[in-house]
Amino acid sequence: GEHKVSNFLRQIIENDLDKGTYASRHWAGTPGDAAHHAAGPLDPAKIRTRFPPEPNGYLHVGHAKSICLNFGLARDYGGVCHMRFDDTNPEKEDTEYVNSILDAVQWLGFNWEANGQSHLFQASDYFDFMYRAAEYLITAGHAYVDEQTAEQMRAARGDFGKPGVDSPFRSRTPEQNLARFREMRDGAHEDGSMVLRAKIDMASPNINLRDPAIYRIRRATHHNTGDKWCIYPMYTFAHPIEDALEQITHSICTLEFEDQRPFYDWLMDRLCEGGLLAHPAPHQYEFARLNLTYVITSKRKLAQLVYDHKVSGWDDPRMPTIVGLRRRGYTPESIQLFAERIGVTKSDSWIDYSTLEGCLREDLENKAHRGMAVLDPVKLVLTNWAEAFGADDYTEDCTQPALPHSAIAEGQTPPPERVFKIGNEVWIEREDFEEVPPKGYKRLFPGNVVRLKGGYVIECTGCAKDASGTVTEVHAKVIPGTKSGTPGADSVKAKAAITWVSVASGVSAEVRLYDRLFSDPNPDAGGKDFIEALNPNSLKVVTAYVEPSLAAAKPDQKFQFERFGYFVADRVDHVAGSKPVFNRVTGLKDSWGK
């Protein structure tokens, strides 16, 4: 593990643990059912955080930051992070999303178990409590039913520097409001005909405190509660209650909720003083959301890419979804490292996409087995092979380490060496031959001597071309006695070592060369049409030749293709041996041989 850099949240948590802020929670009045809810009593020496996605889409790299943060803090301070589905919006949820979210969190390396107990919750389980909390607010004079139209309410809300105007319904008695609210619950009124509003301050400089709506009428079947309710709590009302019922200590969210914090606190104070919730109540803290260059992190826009077939699905390796990153070849460790490295701050900034790629390289550098692949093949014929070794179809084994010496830790057993054949014909990269070499070119050109990496030193003699002048074959002579790892290996000095795969043992493979999905570093900034910013060259598929150790890969196995970068055997389409399919995750930091 990398050293954990402190940040403002860690300081707050350490301070709360020192002071025992949450050591004794208690109720002002008679404990309501909040005392008995599923989260159980809180160990005062522990913190509770939560990750509360709406199950309305696939998680993306921004959520990964939040997951690593919330679960990571709980882990580091011996606390618990609750996995909570914020499913208070009846229309948008789907079990496909629920399952994909649970999967994503676990894949990233986290879980919601602690002390043998599962901490998996859904906000809709608290609808009964939320309803009672609303009735309490009405009874205590803190909420009223407003029958103005939506437009009237909007107009009366005022604006920055312009106070709002009280609703004509604001002065109703608690009895009148309670009766009306129960009618709302019982289905006596049309959708949208009235709302329950908190009664706070129509002149507050914070517009969120100008009597925000807390319950609305909406006839919709909910995936958990079915048709039991035709009124649903607003997110801003539901969320603080969810946190409090689960005895969350530190409720961490993104900066756009900063203006909601006064309402969060207002609601906590009212419900604590009414004895419905224990105090100290949870506290909300805001951090800057992840903005990553060349990436879109809006579920709605990502959904559009899927439904408009701009990508092959949520798990397209170009998608910034967690399933997409996973299929692309990112590892949980690389994403955790990324989250740690970008840290948490209180002001918005952009993170360069290369930071994420750098974390992947760092994670795979000492893990990913090496292998050779030829991505743009042209055939090289060793014209003196039969003369040197007795027959054209003679082959010989070559061996190379799966990991370089530098990747093997003290006392660690190196993995078995790779074995591949060399014969009279090998595939090389088209760019590794130049009939007329540019200045400084060290690879194959007539008269030059290079090494086939892990094989023999060869001397280039020329090439064959078709009518259009395209090189169809490169010709060279093998220099016997120069094989890598034999005593004569250094007897002839080679100018360069090139990668290759023998025709005898190479396996044809589909290689998907992914590039960034967008050409614009800020594809959805400033009202731009992000579809216009799509990179037309974000996927290039080539037929390559790979050495046998690569063709035998298990799906999801990662490799470093020498000189090219990191590749993964596609989780979905790769079939070991018979139909290898690889995705390029990212190139090597330094381009090879330049």
Q: Is 563 annotated to bind ligand?
A: no
d(CA 112, CA 165): 46
- Catalytic, out of 10, 75, 132, 289: 289
297 binds ligand ATP (CB under 6 A): yes
Site for ligand ATP in 27-66 (CB under 6 A): 52-54, 62-63, 65-66
418 binds ligand ATP (CB under 6 A): no
Question: Is residue 88 within 8 Å of 235, Cβ to Cβ?
Answer: yes
User: Which stretch of DSSP H or E encloses residue 19?
Assistant: helix 8-19
Q: Given the complex with ligand ATP, which of 67 and 553 has the nearer CB atom? A: 67
- Partner interacting with residue 167 (select from ligand ATP, Mg ion, none; CB below 5-8 Å by kind): none
290 binds ligand ATP (CB under 6 A): yes
Stretch that binds ligand ATP, among 219-227, 296-304, 345-353, 394-402 (CB under 6 A): 296-304
- Catalytic, out of 48, 261, 270, 299: 299
Site for Mg ion in 159-218 (CB under 5 A): none
Q: Is 417 annotated to bind ligand?
A: no
- Partner interacting with residue 63 (select from ligand ATP, Mg ion, none; CB below 5-8 Å by kind): ligand ATP
Question: Is residue 270 within 8 Å of 244, Cβ to Cβ?
Answer: no
Alpha-carbon distance values, 312 to 97, 261, 297, 327 (Å): 17, 40, 18, 12
Q: How many CB atoms lie within 10 A of CB 412?
A: 10
**DSSP strand E in 411-504: where?**
418-422, 425-429, 449-452, 457-465, 471-479, 497-498, 500-502
298 binds ligand ATP (CB under 6 A): yes
Q: Given the complex with Mg ion, which of 235 and 394 has the nearer CB atom? A: 235
Q: Given the complex with Mg ion, which of 81 and 184 has the nearer CB atom? A: 81
Q: Token digits for 381? A: 């014929």
Nearest to 126 by CA among 52, 187, 57, 200: 52
Q: Which residues pair with 488 in a beta bridge?
A: none
**Catalytic site residue 242?**
no
- Least spacing, CB of residue 509 vs ligand ATP, in Å: 35
258 binds ligand ATP (CB under 6 A): no
- Least spacing, CB of residue 330 vs Mg ion, in Å: 23
Site for ligand ATP in 129-168 (CB under 6 A): none
Question: Is residue 243 within 8 Å of 250, Cβ to Cβ?
Answer: no
d(CA 88, CA 101): 17
364 binds ligand ATP (CB under 6 A): no
**Residue 164 DSSP label:** -
d(CA 445, CA 459): 9
Query: Which residue number places its CB atom closest to ligand ATP?
Result: 62
345 binds ligand ATP (CB under 6 A): no
d(CA 327, CA 583): 8
- Partner interacting with residue 218 (select from Mg ion, ligand ATP, none; CB below 5-8 Å by kind): none
**Catalytic site residue 54?**
yes
Those residues with Cβ within 8 angstroms of residue 128's Cβ, 6 or more apart along the chain or in another chain:
none
Query: Tokens 């055939």 correspond to what residue?
Result: 379
d(CA 384, CA 87): 72
DSSP string computed for 66-116: HHHHHHHHHHHTT-EEEEEE----TTT--HHHHHHHHHHHHHTT---EETT
**Catalytic site residue 512?**
no
Q: Given the complex with ligand ATP, which of 291 and 519 has the nearer CB atom? A: 291
- Partner interacting with residue 37 (select from Mg ion, ligand ATP, none; CB below 5-8 Å by kind): none
Query: Tokens 């178990």 correspond to what residue?
Result: 113
253 binds ligand ATP (CB under 6 A): yes
- Least spacing, CB of residue 160 vs ligand ATP, in Å: 24
Q: Given the complex with ligand ATP, which of 244 and 463 has the nearer CB atom? A: 244
Question: Is residue 378 within 8 Å of 471, Cβ to Cβ?
Answer: yes
Stretch that binds Mg ion, among 47-55, 104-112, 288-296, 300-308 (CB under 5 A): 47-55
Q: Token digits for 334? A: 């690389």
- Least spacing, CB of residue 269 vs Mg ion, in Å: 24
Q: Token digits for 296? A: 């879109």
Q: Given the complex with ligand ATP, which of 350 and 592 has the nearer CB atom? A: 350
Binding positions for L-glutamine: 86, 235
Binding positions: 54-56, 86, 235, 254, 289-290
Q: Rule CB under 5 A: which residues touch Mg ion?
A: 54
Binding positions for ATP: 54-56, 254, 289-290
Q: Rule CB under 6 A: which residues touch ligand ATP?
A: 52-54, 62-63, 65-66, 253-254, 289-290, 297-299
Residues with catalytic function = 54, 289, 299
